[in-house]
Amino acid sequence: MTRGVAVEATGIRRAFGPKVVLAGLSFVAAPGEFVAVVGRSGSGKSTFLRLLAGLDRPSAGEVRIAGTPLLGVCPVARVVFQDGRLLPWLRVGPNVALGLSGDARGRANEMLARVGLADRTNDWPAVLSGGQRQRVALARALAGEPRLLLLDEPLGSLDALTRIEMQRLIEDLWLAGRFTTVLITHDVDEAVTLADRVILTAAGRVAGEWPVAISRPRRRDHPDFGRLARTILDAVMTPAPPP
């Protein structure tokens, strides 16, 4: 059973003063789908994610979550940012439980165990490694039982090995929870490893789209993997006209 919601963005335009960042972007994700977003730096990926989270409003166009127009902060979405954004004055356990009430607090410990950090609940964020901090951020997002998980380069600051471990963890958690997931990444291999579908943003729109039909867990030495990753990378590198 999927817990994920349908996501629909139609004709999204977002300008900051004269600067047009999104120029009529349209996007659909099915309930429980895992979509990765790649694109050059500055192509509007984070802006798009913030709009899906309801942390920002489009200048024109509409976002619908589970068929309902999004008018404020999306109540069923949780976001994980690159730096984790843990509160330094709260220990790990309270960071994960933040915003949860009553019975839901038990889930904080459960999620810490799921990300392998059950024994770190009394530690301060400052003593954790970068990978551990991102695990805590993931646990915090998942403790809120999101039906839409929005990941903005969550593994961008991690070393290569930790990154691969975290990719496996994200895939396992997603397979177990089947929340709809949108992952922004600069790493095309990461996108092809994790996503059901990869989209490319350029010139303020979705400029390319590739379903990933390789069975999970995916191996990078699979012949289709390298072929698809090269095709996507070539598209990312192709210069786009301004929006």
Ligand X SMILES: Nc1ncnc2c1ncn2[C@@H]1O[C@H](COP(=O)(O)OP(=O)(O)OP(=O)(O)O)[C@@H](O)[C@H]1O
The contact set with ligand X (CB under 6 A) reads 16, 19, 21, 39, 41-47
Residue 115 vs residues 42, 102, 169: alpha-carbon distances, Å: 31, 22, 7
Nearest Cα to 155, choosing from 118, 187, 200?
187
Smaller CB distance to ligand X: residue 43 or 121?
Answer: 43
The least distance separating ligand X from the CB of residue 55, rounded to whole angstroms, comes to 11
> CA 98, CA 124: separation in Å to the nearest integer?
14
Smaller CB distance to ligand X: residue 43 or 95?
Answer: 43
Smaller CB distance to ligand X: residue 39 or 131?
Answer: 39
The least distance separating ligand X from the CB of residue 164, rounded to whole angstroms, comes to 21
For residue 69, whether the previous peptide bond is cis, meaning omega lies within 30 degrees of 0, is no
The least distance separating ligand X from the CB of residue 183, rounded to whole angstroms, comes to 12
> CA 35, CA 194: separation in Å to the nearest integer?
8
The least distance separating ligand X from the CB of residue 167, rounded to whole angstroms, comes to 18
Helices (H), 85-180: 92-97, 105-114, 130-143, 160-177
Smaller CB distance to ligand X: residue 52 or 112?
Answer: 52
